[in-house]
Amino acid sequence: MTSRTTRSAACRRSSRALAGLLLLTLLVAMPSAAEQEVPTYPGTIHTRIGSDLVIGGEYYRLAYFTTDDPMKKVAAYFAQKWRDEGYPTVVEGDLKEEAVVSALFTREGLQRGVVLRIHQGKTVGFTALRDLWTRPPKSAPKGLVKLEGTVYTQDLATRDDPGGSQNRTSLVSGDLSDVQQRVSAELARQGFEPVRHTATKLGGTTQVTMEHARKGEQVMTTLSAVDEGMTAVVQTWVGSDRLDAVPNDEAVRKSREEWEREKKGKGEGKGR
């Protein structure tokens, strides 16, 4: 009995010690894991745009807010706050139609900024947090095509959305039908099959939307003529096997595993 009591007391002591150690570990780990927040304007609701975005090969966090306050007041708030805190801050724009306020946080390798615009009489602010030091691994976006004659292209990817998504916006030299054919041919070469295809009139111009799918993956392509001989191509790749293209990480993971197994099985069969 005594030994049992002693053991349980020892157990309690060791549990407490373990809990203390765990708490200490958590406390130590917390500052390093602390989330770096996007800037905020007081008294407004901020809506995050995606989670962690990769834009032009750099990590970003974005949010937006709207306010009745005039643009000058909003810009002055951010500029004053960052300058008072001791961060090098720059204000650009006419402060009537547009303004950009940004500050460098060089010890953390971050840039915080706000882009302001007027929309329907309100001031709309896009707040951004940009990582200056960490770069995402260079991986070619899956299912997104880069055509010959591309004069501009911009990639955007989400880092931790379920299933993940990648976007590419391009300006391609060529007529709408020509670019459409080239996109379809390239996707077919990558193993994507056409699912559906719609053409709509929008503001006097034709907009073509194509959907392609490959095992557990979907690519939505929207094409529209910008000028004569110039077409805008917006592509979104989603890891999804759902009809509504909503990312379904678990379904996609299983589907991919199954596909990999099938592929492996076929390979082994051929080997024999």
According to CB under 8 A, which one of 106, 154, 181, 200 is a site residue for another protein? 106
What 3-state DSSP class applies to 234? strand
What does the CA dihedral 70, 75, 76, 79 come to, rounded to 10 degrees?
170
**Least distance from C-beta 156 to another protein, angstroms?**
21
Q: Is 105 in the site for another protein (CB under 8 A)?
A: yes
CA distance 114 to 78: 8
Count of residues binding another protein (CB under 8 A)? Answer: 13
Q: Is 37 in the site for another protein (CB under 8 A)?
A: no
**Least distance from C-beta 98 to another protein, angstroms?**
23
14: left (phi over 0), alpha (psi -120 to 50) or beta: alpha
Q: 65-94 mask for another protein (x: CB under 8 A)?
A: ------------------x-xxxx------
Please give the sequence-ordered ranges of beta strands (E in DSSP) within 56-97, or none if there are none.
58-67, 89-92
**Least distance from C-beta 83 to another protein, angstroms?**
8
Q: Are 116 and 125 in contact (CB under 8 A)?
A: yes
**Least distance from C-beta 102 to another protein, angstroms?**
12
- Which residues share a beta bridge with 237? 166, 219
Q: 129-168 mask for another protein (x: CB under 8 A)?
A: ---xx-----------------------------------
